[in-house]
Structure 1
Amino acid sequence: MLESELAFGVLVALARLGVADLIAEAGRPLTSSELSEQTDADPDRMARLLRTAAALGYLRTTHNAGYALTSEGALLRDLPGSLRPALLVAADPLWRETITNLGRAVLTGKAGTNISPYDYLTANPALARQFQQFMAVRSAAAAAALAQRDFTQCQTVIDIGGGQGAMLSTILEAHPHLTGVLWEQESVADIAVVAMAERGHADRCQIIAGDMIDNVPHGGQQAVYILSNILHNLDDGQAHRVLSNVRAAASNGPAQVWCVDMLINPYRAYVGTPAAELTDMRMMSLFLGGRERTSEEYLALLINAGFPSPRIERLSGPMYLISSEVTPLSADDAGPYAPSLL
């Protein structure tokens, strides 16, 4: 088990030194001497790093003492869809500190850090970019699965906390009749404006800064509200407030709410990596009250927030879709929501 920590360090070193990109861009295997020269690294230590990376299967040696990429090593390239952003975020001091302090979080009932991860990202723009790239990769399969669904009765998709709009873009590309709304905190919304323009969706998507704890935008009838990897950051009280805001914003109905998250199955036989359980540890260490939930716990959240008949579907990999129809509310039941966008 302890050896995995050393293997992680090798991966981080390869990513930070850009070894995978240098080999790929050369179009041929590179020797240790060439890589140490191109990275301005110590020759002996570079040789030892590459030797270990080859032993772990991230590189392979060639007949001329060169190193080529394996399929695993190619995932470290600085390209869309690579694992590099996830690796560099996981290697950041705050992320490392929180998981090291997991025992303290268990004892105290608090997070493993006194710093809000989102405040930390706002103060570290380079890391924030890597984090958004990581989240785009993490949600890509789920986004593709959502984009295959029937949107013929939908007019507007509202992505609450949708980062730079990767999931929303995937859906808009698949369904040209749709318009989108991306609701994010101000520091992310400013970057999302550029990202959505680069994807060619500036004329089909409104990007609005806001706080989902306070309100969410009113998208009119035939809207779909998406909360992807959002509620697992929140305790039950905060999650209830966000869902209640969505319920109130969709008060004119009909509309739908789609929550995308992992679900914990307490009865499953463990085969492979228990993704939801490990992510639950990450949420516990990063956020006060953050957690992955069982299907029963998740359904209770929606029912208590006014969604009477939620349902669960397997979406992609470890991700599930927890969804519900939204019927019109009476004026007395409606709660806080942002002014209409239509």
Structure 2
Amino acid sequence: MPPLIFVDEQNSAALRDLADLATPMALRVAVTLGLPDRLRTEAVGGDVLAAELGASPVALELLLGHLVTLGVLGHGSDGYRTTGYGAALCADAGNGLVDLLDLHAAGGRAELAFTELLHSVTTGEAAYPRRYGQDFWADLAEQPILRESFDRQMAHRFHDQVPQIVAGYDWGRFATVVDVGGGRGAVLAGILAAHPGMRGHLVDLDPTAAAATRTFHTHGLSERTRVSAGSFFDPLPAGAEAYLLSDILHDWDDEHAHRILSRCVEAAGPAGRVLIIEPVGGRRGETAMDLAMLTIFGSRERRVDEFRTLASAHGLALDHVTDLSDQRCLLEFRRTDG
């Protein structure tokens, strides 16, 4: 006879709350509709909002009611208004939440692929193409608004980390560095600003590369930088002392990660170093992000041994792992024939 299981009601309630989908979706819809911004400076009645948004008055009231329960909105005789707590969901809050939650932005759209998590767990494949008919990167290529929001999201992810990245590693060892898939250039700009003797070359797709050019100009680094519009699956600028991949490989499965590393090694030559900055599984990576990488990209936050195995196929040996911050590590690889 199986043992009796006594259910703790408090634990059951906690698990039910964790599994709740109403609240995360309500927040995403609120941001997508622009409610926190619209209601920040004045109280507005539900019927007026429904007319402005072309929404069902009854259904919108249900959403507004839950947002009041959450403390995101307040409700008085003059209508609904964003609370101080809810102001964190406004576009100018500076925390990156809008791009993560807005269902029309790359981040918010991508996270809906979690509804197909079962597919990813059973197959090991990304769920994003199953939901949208093509992979994440094809979507970005076709829809400029997604590309723009993704670039903003990546810039925000690194914003508070750049000083730690710059201070946590001896970048001055290198005279030249190629930032592969370097986004709008914040990381490379920080490194070069701290090391006046260095020169940098950033590679990314247009229009991200154009934004990087503006970043370097703003920081007075135009004379020490070059920007190339291109893919890291194509030949990279050759002959630099270091090739930097920041938050790149975890966006790709092993097949594509091998292709990226192969281009880095090809360009670096025997003496060049390959530097990988990422959350590392079991060290700085988060389990929730593991599932996000799986669902969106068919990838994961790789562990040190997985990076070592991945790189060894390209004649790279792991020299050092440096904890740069509470979110990211730097793995330094050298050519074994260098």
Give the TM-score of the pair, scaled to structure 1: 0.76
**8 Å contact kept, 2:107–2:150:** no
Spell out the pairing of 1:280-291 with structure 2 (5 A cutoff): 280-288=290-298, 290-291=299-300
The one-letter code sitting in structure 1 at the alignment partner of 2:267 is A
* 8 A Cα contact 1:36 1:46, kept in partner: no
Which residue of 119, 126, 134 maps to 1:115?
134
Equivalence for 2:286: 276
Aligned CA distance change for structure 1 residues 199 and 13 (closer, same or farther; 3 Å): farther
**CA distance in structure 2 between the partners assigned to 1:109 and 1:327 by the alignment:** 32
Counterpart check, 1:172 vs 2:184: no
Q: Aligned-pair distance for 1:135?
A: 1.3
In the alignment, the residues of structure 2 paired with residue 72 and residue 37 of structure 1 have an alpha-carbon distance, to the nearest angstrom, of 17
Tell me, yes or no, if the aligned pair for 2:251 and 2:293 is still in contact at 8 Å.
yes
CA drift at 1:87: 1.6
**Alignment of structure 1 residues 1-342 onto 2, 5 Å:** 1=16, 4-22=20-38, 26=41, 30-33=42-45, 36=48, 40-41=52-53, 48-59=62-73, 67-71=81-85, 73-78=87-92, 80-88=94-102, 89-92=106-109, 95-96=111-112, 98-112=113-127, 113=129, 114-149=133-168, 150-186=170-206, 188-198=208-218, 200-220=220-240, 223-251=241-269, 253=271, 255-265=272-282, 276-288=286-298, 290-325=299-334, 329=338
CA gap of 1:275–1:86, structure 2 versus 1, over 3 A, is farther
Q: 1:328 and 1:100 mapped to 2: Cα distance?
A: 46
Q: State the AA in 1 paired with 2:153.
A: F
| Superposed CA RMSD | 3.4
CA contact (8 A) 2:46 2:61 kept: no
Deviation, 1:281, is 2.2
The offset of 1:296, in angstroms, is 1.5
Matches of 2:125 and 2:329, distance apart in 1: 27
C-alpha distance in structure 2 between counterparts of 1:39 and 1:74, whole Å: 25
Change (3 A) 1:62 1:217: farther
Q: How many residues align?
A: 312
Q: Give, as a single letter, the amino acid of the residue that structure 2 aligns with 1:207.
A: V
Q: Distance in 1 between matches of 2:176 and 2:48?
A: 52
Secondary structure of the corresponding residue to residue 317 of structure 2: coil
1:78/1:34 CA distance change after superposition, 3 Å: farther
C-alpha deviations, 1:118-171, integer Å up to 9, x for none?
A: 111011111111111111122334333111143333222321112222322333
1:226 match: secondary structure: strand
- Checking the alignment, whether the CA contact within 8 Å between 1:193 and 1:207 is kept in structure 2 is yes
The gaps in structure 2 that reach 5 residues or longer are 1-15
Give yes or no for contact 2:281–2:301 (8 Å, CA) kept in 1: yes
Deviations 1:175-196 (A, max 9, x none): 4443321112345334544454
> CA distance change for structure 1 residues 151 and 296 in 2, over 3 Å: closer, same or farther?
closer
Q: Residue 36 of structure 2 contacts residue 86 of structure 2 at CA under 8 Å; is this kept in 1?
A: no
Identity %: 27
Give the direction of change, closer, same or farther, for the CA distance of 1:3–1:312 in structure 2 (3 Å limit).
same
Q: Displacement, 1:75?
A: 4.4
**Which fold has the larger relative contact order, with Cα–Cα distance below 8 Å and residues 6 or more apart in sequence?**
1
Matches of 1:177 and 1:75 in 2, distance apart? Answer: 41
Separation in structure 2 between the aligned mates of residue 201 and residue 61 of structure 1, nearest angstrom: 50
Structure 1, unaligned runs of 5 or more:
269-273, 330-342
Secondary structure class of the residue paired with 2:300: coil
The letter for the 2-side match of 1:216 is L
Change (3 A) 1:109 1:50: closer
Task: Give CA-to-partner distance per residue, 1:172-224, whole Å, 9 cap, x none.
Answer: 3444443321112345334544454455544432111233233322243xx33
- What one-letter code is carried by the residue in structure 2 that aligns with 1:126? I
